[in-house]
A and B are shown apart, each in its own frame.
Chain A
């Protein structure tokens, strides 16, 4: 019964998002006319995480545009590593807490936070500072360390990866936010919003065995898209990523990039990153591969981009 319900709701959500992209497309094509429309991408620079988040959301019409009363919300930060916040290996805890608080304020029934960590999950939750920050803000940390927390889904539009298991809390929620941190990455060159999706799945080995970049693009085709990708670039890791050796790998950018478009947000973040550590976006192959699968666009010129300095 539950399974059937799931498929039903999945179909509805899928259909809805299909129409939504069409609507978005029409807005984009007639950009000059739609002056009042919300921007496709917002970048904020020069503030503290919470202030930048509130500012960016203001441009997008506020949190109430995304979270309705009584909804179940999931936030997926990067908590992959047992590192303190100053190491910029995990998403900034203040940013995650601020988002929890906003969702709660918008009347969310519950706000759940998880990541399928690379290091010991309990230590990563704790030492990243995220567990304490989320709990204090009224959110709930849930474990993701066991296969039983995941449920298999299909990826009909995937090229190499046609199915995987995704964390149940994300499958069962009403709305979710993808909150990665901008980092160098030894394997994929960079890790931003799409690479962060490797923390919602159970079987990561499959990615590495079957062309990592293609599989990242494949998981980005998953029908249940995040309401927003909120890229934390307050501190970024410029080298020795994704876990970093010391604070010498960290650069303060005090920035935040927000967009519902995976490809656009990753493209923008890559450009920002390249000012610190020049990186060829074509080497981060999954960005172009995802664009090919119609996940989003690299062409920022075509989008309504809002840049704000605080």
Chain B
């Protein structure tokens, strides 16, 4: 059965590297369709109710156990990579794990609180704890900037030699809160995987805990054949989930991530991956009865706390007006409640935004929306008219898919023109940068004084792309800016110009 581990390693590396590289890719060289691979994840599939992917993942879990954790989840594989790499720094270079008792109170509480908070309308914990999104934040906030630095350094060296095959890429803008969240989780995950293998997956990760419940009844499981086992403990030493109790010849199915390392370790072939329900069931499903009462109390307490937490959250988010302007959501977000509760802030749209106008939010959406994407315009950085990439890649459907034509009328915000600050008004000089950049001509120039023209806005055809704001030379507070729309409506289509049909035969001079 040793081939199982090999298959697992190959598949997990395939998934891991694809997802990793897709997040890192800042040049758009990788095939865009790869984004579909990233929707094969539990939380995104649940949030987007993607029944196809959900049934595949469910069948996998019910048949084979926590294959998701060992193979598909990028954060899981990252831990394997980390603990595999860190062997170099340890004295004994082989895995050395010992059986550990399950942290039932902790893991079931986290799962319960996350679930209850979500039911009460706060998806904050889902956002924070979804392993795929955590991985996305770690890569995009910590490693992507390094890759871009390396690229830009190399590009400038090559550029000096007249070679422009690499080009300067704008660095990821630094949002301290988003960086902090990513760093915190990277630290926790590294710390835990350093010596304790997959303990993050079995104590903190709600997806891992949830799948643990399913893997208790999965068709296949790891089991020890008592007749052949010498209790040598070789399997236990290799078990990164610390769920093999070799003394008692038992495997805690709920924590086993089906990595198959134990199968390769056993010289006697006494540990096997086999059908659970053959013959009569030897034992009913294991229950930790001693703990169940305490767990129940803890969980109930946690439920109440969460309910209270969820309520305060609501109060905070109703106080939008204290912000000077409403945050601008990406196109396809539809309305702010839907968006905030469905986005897990995996940062995929942010990393794929060609203009880099999407940035992780600090507190623009309130505490529960930390690191969710919002639009932040800066000089010549605005939302491209002919682009729907963010709506296409979103794996959780927090951004609904929009065709290019739909995107062109998706009103993510509305323009506000403050004439008294406009250069044409204050300096009496031509400018028109805003109108020049406006794709719909919602901002257009009308005659003003003596040959001058001044902007005029038509709000019903404005889509809030921010091109005008990004280019307005009045700083630091632009004379023209976009107010975010909490409910994204459909803008009117701009009218076309009158066609010119006459034939010109003269030079005119």
Contact = CB atoms under 8 A, between A and B. Distances in A.
Asked whether A and B interact, the reply is: yes
Contacts of B387: 120, 123
A82 interface: yes
A205 interface: yes
B380 interface: yes
Contacts of A20: none
Contacts, number: 134
B506 A123 contact: no
- B contact face: mostly helix, strand, loop, or mixed: loop
A82 B384 contact: yes
A245 B432 contact: no
B500 A243 contact: no
B86 interface: no
Contacts of B386: 82, 123, 127
Interface in B151-201: 156, 159, 164, 167-168, 170
B496 A248 contact: yes
B441 A240 contact: yes
A186 interface: yes
B431 A307 contact: no
Interface string A125-147: 00100000000000011110110
A272 B507 contact: yes
B451 A248 contact: no
B504 A253 contact: yes
B210 interface: no
Interface string B486-509: 000000001011111000111111
Interface string B433-445: 1011101110011
A140 B379 CA distance: 27
Given A143-B168, A187-B445, A208-B473, A275 B508 contact: yes
A209 interface: yes
Interface residues of B, number: 47
Nearest to A274: B508
B437 A118 contact: yes
Contact of A143 (B167, B453, B498, B505): B167
Contacts of B385: 82
A119 B437 CA distance: 9
Contacts of B427: 211
Contacts of A31: none
B316 to A, nearest CB: 36
A246 interface: yes
Contacts of B500: 238, 251, 276-277
Interface in A241-264: 241-243, 245-246, 248-249, 251, 253, 255
10 smallest beta-carbon distances between A and B, as pairs: A187-B432, A146-B168, A208-B473, A186-B435, A271-B509, A143-B167, A271-B508, A272-B508, A209-B473, A283-B451
13 contacts: A43-B507, A146-B167, A146-B168, A186-B453, A187-B433, A188-B432, A238-B500, A240-B441, A243-B439, A271-B509, A272-B504, A272-B508, A300-B509
Interface of B: 28, 156, 159, 164, 167-168, 170, 354-355, 379-380, 384-387, 423, 427, 429-433, 435-437, 439-441, 444-445, 451, 453, 471, 473, 475, 494, 496-500, 504-509
Given A245-B497, A248-B497, A251-B500, 17 more contacts: A43-B507, A127-B386, A140-B164, A142-B164, A148-B159, A149-B159, A186-B435, A187-B435, A208-B423, A208-B433, A212-B429, A212-B431, A213-B429, A238-B497, A241-B436, A272-B508, A275-B506
